[in-house]
Structure 1
Amino acid sequence: MPGATWARRVLLVEDQRIMRVLVAESLRHRGFELDVAADAVQALQVLDTADPDVLVTDVELGSRPDGLELALIARAASPGIGIVVLSNYAAVAERMPSGAEFVDKAELHDPDELAAAIERAVRGPRARGRAGRAPQRTAPESAASQDPVVASLTPHQRRVLALIAAGLSNAEIADRTDSTLRAVERTVSRLFTRLEIANVPAVNPRVIAANRFNRHFGPAAT
């Protein structure tokens, strides 16, 4: 079935090479799609061209911005991104962005702990739009379970799909979700790839995406 093998996309930022390689290998082994960076500068270059579902970052990166500053920059550019912070010091949890997950580096011997934190960060509350500006259409979890592709979407991606179905332009979606236009364009592009409607001749992908949403969520979602 189309989209059945879709994987979460993770941006891993870690300045220690050995730790970076080990964590990346562990996540790939568990089916995650990885972008890897050694510092915030490299990470920001990735964020400018990719659409990761979650940022997994160490706090101390050997230079500025540090991991917590990077998380704030990433969240400002793409409000839907999940955040997982890695550190040996639990006290940093008090300074993390809202909704971020903390993983003690001492627990990285258990890869399932990090994988679970990533999933919590991705599926946690992502309704960070302006008050009173919620989309007209939503995507109930019960309906999403009927389609493995839609079920695998993050809440932010599902919201973007709902807004496409409502007929909004990318600029209007950016306004509704407090995202940058560039971030929305990346998310929409990735959604079209996920739905296998990107770069298909003689097809309007926004129409196909809207029909896909309507078929699964219908009038009850209006």
Structure 2
Amino acid sequence: MIGVEEQSGVIRTLVADDQAVVRTAFVNLLNTQEDIEIVGEAADGVEAVRVAAETRPDLALLDIRMPHKNGIEAAREILSGSGGATKVLMLTTFGLDEYVYDALAAGAAGFLLKDATFPELLHAVRVVAAGNALLSPEITKRVIGEFVHARASRLPVHCAGELTTREAEVLILIARGLSNAEIASRLTITDHTVKTHINRLFAKLELRDRAQAVIAAYELGLVRAGDRTE
């Protein structure tokens, strides 16, 4: 998984799903955790945006397929309205590549199928709430590797030339799933230096988080599907 550092403190969470039984199940499960507090529920995308604006949650757990406004549109508005303070974790019963790509492009930091185990869900909530990306290797390979080149690139190719050699190296390693500590070890530099490079490349490419960094690495051709991680 990309992103292994978890949130400390109580995670104020919004759960949005149009299926009442599913929504209640998620709420009840998450409420069993001392570090997670449910601050709102929503049955559709419009309600999710409204409740998020009222409660300012740390994390919004959104179903992709909802009436009136789908989860991707809701995610985009929630992220914009909170200035990125609210993190978004997407849930769906559908493993369609296009939905995953669109969710990440909208700014979602994590994506899980609804058949994920309870421990996997808890881990995802904590990782995404901490501001990290959580993408399974399967999603990284299938979605970003296949769909980025099939669509018009969000980033002009010349953007790659704006990165220093070291920044490009760091971006490649982020796309391959390495943590900051692993990047530091691989490049024989300090954690602080890694963070400096990440901040600079994020600013140059106008990236919000590591999920978008993965997409950017593929869009710029720095990483391709099937590349080895060694």
Aligned to 2:169: none
Tell me the number of residue pairs that the alignment of Structure 1 and Structure 2 aligns.
120
Is 1:66 aligned to residue 70 of structure 2?
A: yes
Aligned to 1:33: 37
Tell me, in whole angstroms, the C-alpha distance in 2 between the residues paired with 1:121 and 1:48: 19
**Pairing 1:1-222 to 2, within 5 Å after superposition:** 7-31=10-34, 32-34=36-38, 35-61=40-66, 63-78=67-82, 79-90=84-95, 91=97, 92-96=99-103, 97-98=106-107, 100-107=109-116, 110-124=117-131
Aligned to 2:155: none
> Could you say what secondary structure the match of 1:60 adopts?
coil
Q: What does the per-residue CA deviation read over 1:110-157, in whole Å, with 9 as the maximum and x for residues that have no partner?
A: 21111111112112259xxxxxxxxxxxxxxxxxxxxxxxxxxxxxxx
So what's the TM-score if we normalise by structure 1? 0.50
> Could you say what secondary structure the match of 1:121 adopts?
helix
> Could you say what secondary structure the match of 2:101 adopts?
helix
Indicate conservation of the 8 Å contact 1:99/1:121, yes or no.
no
Letter in 2 for 1:104: L
Runs ≥4 in structure 1, deviation > 4 angstroms? none
RMSD: 2.2
Tell me, in whole angstroms, the C-alpha distance in 2 between the residues paired with 1:44 and 1:28: 21
Indicate conservation of the 8 Å contact 2:64/2:71, yes or no.
yes
Indicate conservation of the 8 Å contact 1:99/1:124, yes or no.
no
Aligned to 1:190: none
Gap change, CA 1:115 and 1:72, over 3 Å in 2: same
Tell me, in whole angstroms, the C-alpha distance in 2 between the residues paired with 1:20 and 1:125: 24
Tell me, in whole angstroms, the C-alpha distance in 2 between the residues paired with 1:74 and 1:98: 10
Tell me, in whole angstroms, the C-alpha distance in 1 between the residues paired with 2:132 and 2:112: 19
Query: In the TM superposition, what is the alpha-carbon distance from 1:89 to its structure 2 partner?
Result: 2.1
Indicate conservation of the 8 Å contact 2:110/2:128, yes or no.
yes
Indicate conservation of the 8 Å contact 1:58/1:85, yes or no.
yes
Tell me, in whole angstroms, the C-alpha distance in 1 between the residues paired with 2:44 and 2:122: 21
Letter in 1 for 2:74: L
Same amino acid, percent of matched pairs: 23
Aligned to 2:227: none
